[in-house]
Each structure stands twice: as structure tokens, then as C-alpha cells.
Amino acid sequence: MENGLFKEIQIKNIRIKILDILLFFLFTVSAVLMRYSLRNVVAGDYKMFFEPWVATLREAGGGIRGLAAEFEYVDYTTPYLFILSCISICPFLNTLLLMKIVSIFFDFVAAFAVMAIVYDRKKSMTYGVIGYGIFLMAPTILTNGAMWAQCDIIFTSFILWSLYFLLKDKPVPAMAFYGVAFAFKLQTLFLAPLYVILWMKGKVKLKHFLFLPLMYFIGIIPSLIAGKSLWELISVYFFQANGAMDIYALSHKFPNIYQLIGTDTFLFEYADAGIWLTLGALMLLLYTFARLEYELDPVMLLRMGMFLTMTVVFFLPHMHERYAILVDVLAIVYVFFDSKGFYVPVITLLCSFAGYTVYLAGTNIVPLFIYTILFLFLMADHGVFLYKRIRRGKEEAHG
């Protein structure tokens, strides 16, 4: 029996054990059942935004024709609106379930990316499948789509594939996937500072950054066909960056700096100041990482990615509960590159899920400023880790 479990099958260059296949099925079935149990939850966002949007798209004819619809307010780009427009005319199931199914599909797309990254690192499919399982079980990943009907996993899954190719030293597909992620969501730019560092370290080329406008343009083609103006389609991100819909709180239940100093006063003053503070902090970090000499290995790349993204969401105003999803997924991947860093995903997910709980359950058992302190501790830990690695590299270089 034991021998049977460890029997290996060779598919091209990949060796898979029977155990891996069993684990894969266990995780997949469990992940589906976990999501199935959350299917009936209707979050406020769905009632307030998604349902009216889908109704508007349906009235305009759905599919590509639906994209011609005029919205009072919408902050999604064409690719996701196109998905919603197709959902609006789908004869099976209800809108909420269909939206959740789309997000769940991308949960698996992302989980496969994690599996591929971990397999490449460990050269073991068992670890790969465990990575796949851990990712699908992560509370924020589980609830984001299956419970909340949000679609953050779509852009996140493309970023994970971008990361996969980055770690394989293949900048063209890496940047192409990053471009696709950008076509879906502005939050992709939270990770942009890392790509600038990658350019400074010679891992990607300047021309590769053209994938961002290119993919965005490809993404808006259906709306152009439907008759929307180019300016209207391009300005979606300007409107989002403006934060016009979010001005009523400096942080939307996200454990960042505003939970320490108050989220409900100086709404305009701190909102502008927060943007400049973020830019300033990024300048200092980018300068440090660009100016110093070191070898950017995968462990550093992941730590840097988390550190830079956390810096952005820590200082930027109007951050929502879900905006650390990029940090969550990087943290899950990270643990397979440095097992001593097991606390990284634990703390990250704890802080991230705190905001989810406040939104979804409406309860706030532990004050959010406690999570902010934890979040800050983790940022400091990333900073110390990177500093030590850079210094160690320097010492080794100088014998």
C-alpha cells in the first residue's frame, strides 16, 4: 500500500507520485466544497454595485452590446465588465452564483500558478500540490470570491503567473501577464515598484513595460466595438486613482496608518498628504534598492515585493479591506522559499482577514489598530531581512 502511494509516474519531465494525485483530488474537492458552503452569502457590495451594474448591462443587450451601457458610476475596466455583461445574459444560474463561479475559476488559475512556482523551487510535485492546497485554503482567497463575490483574484492570478515567469528568468511572458493584470485592475500598480527594481537589476527591459498599455488597449477593444469613447475607457483608472467614491474614510477597514491616527478626520488633508507620503516613502525605498549592489535572488525578490506593496497600502489613503491580497499571495509563495519565514503568511493573512471580518460579519473583536501594529511589525521584519541580506552579500563580495 505504502509503496503504491509513492509510486512515480513520469509525464514529460515531471515526476508525479500517486500520493500527489490523491492529495490534489483531496484539496480540489475540499476547495470546491468550502466554496460551495459560502455560495448563498450576499455581501453589501453585490447589492449596492454589482447587481445594478449587471442589470444595466442586461438592459443594454448584454455581451458586447451591453458594454455600450451608460453607468452612473463604475470603476471596472472593460475586461471584467465584459465578463459581467456575458453573465447578464447567461440563461443558467443566477448572477451572484455566476460571478462567484468566475472568481472561483480564477482561484484555481492562481492556485496552479502557485503549484508551478513551488514545483520549480522544490523540484517535488508533493510540495507543489501542498502549495496549491494551502493557497486554496487561505481565508482571504477563499472568501474574496466565493463569499464576497469580489474579483481581486483575477488580476492576482495573472500577477502570480507573471511571478512564475520572472522566477524562471523569462521577462517577456512575465511582463505580458503583468500587463493583462493591469488591464483588469489598477491595484496591479501596487507591485509596480518591484518591477522598477527588476529593471534596475537588469531582469526586465524598458520595452517590456509597453505590455501594460498594450494589454490595456487590447482589453478595451470590446468596449470600443460597442461604441464607447476612447477617453472614457482610459479615464476609468484616473477616476479610481482620484478616490472620489471612497472619500468618506481614510481607510476602509484596512489595518494601515490611518487606524492609528483616525480614519474619519482630516479626510481631504490626510488623503492628499497620504499620497505624497506614499510617493516619498517609495522614492526612499526605490533609491535604496536601486543604489545598493546585491544579487536579487528569489527570496529577496519575494520579500521586496511584499515590503514595497505593504508600504503602498500602509500609507495610501482609502485602502479597502481586500487591498493586501497581493501581499497575501506573495506570503504564501514565500514560505516555500524560506520555511523559517512561516510566520510571514500567518501574520499577513491574519491582518488581511481582519478587515474582511469587519466588513462581512460587521464585528470588530480586536481593534484594528492592533492589526496595524502587527502589519507594521511585519514591514519592519521585511526591511531588516532585506538589509541583512544586502549587507551579507556585500561582505561576501569583499571577502
What are the residues binding other proteins (CB under 8 A)? 199-200, 202, 205-206, 259-262, 265-266, 269-273, 276-277, 279-281, 283-284, 287-288, 290-292, 369, 376, 380, 383-384, 387
Judged by beta carbon, residue 55 or residue 283, the one nearer other proteins is: 283
In whole angstroms, how close is the CB of 253 to other proteins at the nearest point? Answer: 14
Q: Which amino acid is at 80?
A: Y
Q: Closest Cα to residue 239, out of 73, 98, 110, 357?
A: 73
* Of 41 and 281, CB closest to other proteins: 281
Rounded to whole angstroms, the Cα distance separating 269 from 213 reads 32
Choose between 342 and 387: whose C-beta lies nearer to other proteins. 387
Q: What is the DSSP secondary structure assignment for residue 41, as one 8-state letter? A: -
What is the nearest approach in angstroms of other proteins to the Cβ of residue 55?
Answer: 39
CA 245/CA 396 separation, integer angstroms: 51
Maximum Cα–Cα distance across the chain: 70
Q: Which of 385, 332, 340 is nearest to 137 (CA)?
A: 332
Polymer length of the chain:
399
Taking the least distance from each CB to other proteins, the nearer of 123 and 391 is 391
Least separation in angstroms between residue 181's CB and other proteins is: 22
Task: Report the nearest approach of other proteins to the CB of residue 296 (Å).
Answer: 13
CA distance 327 to 345: 9
CA distance 98 to 86: 10
Complex with other proteins: residue 91 or 202, whichever CB lies closer: 202
Whose CA is closest to 358, among 366, 347, 346?
A: 366
User: Which of 9/290 has CB closer to other proteins?
Assistant: 290
Alpha-carbon distance of 33 to 202, in angstroms, equals 44
In the complex, minimum distance from the CB of residue 300 to other proteins, in angstroms, rounded to a whole number: 18
CB of 399 to other proteins, least distance (A): 20
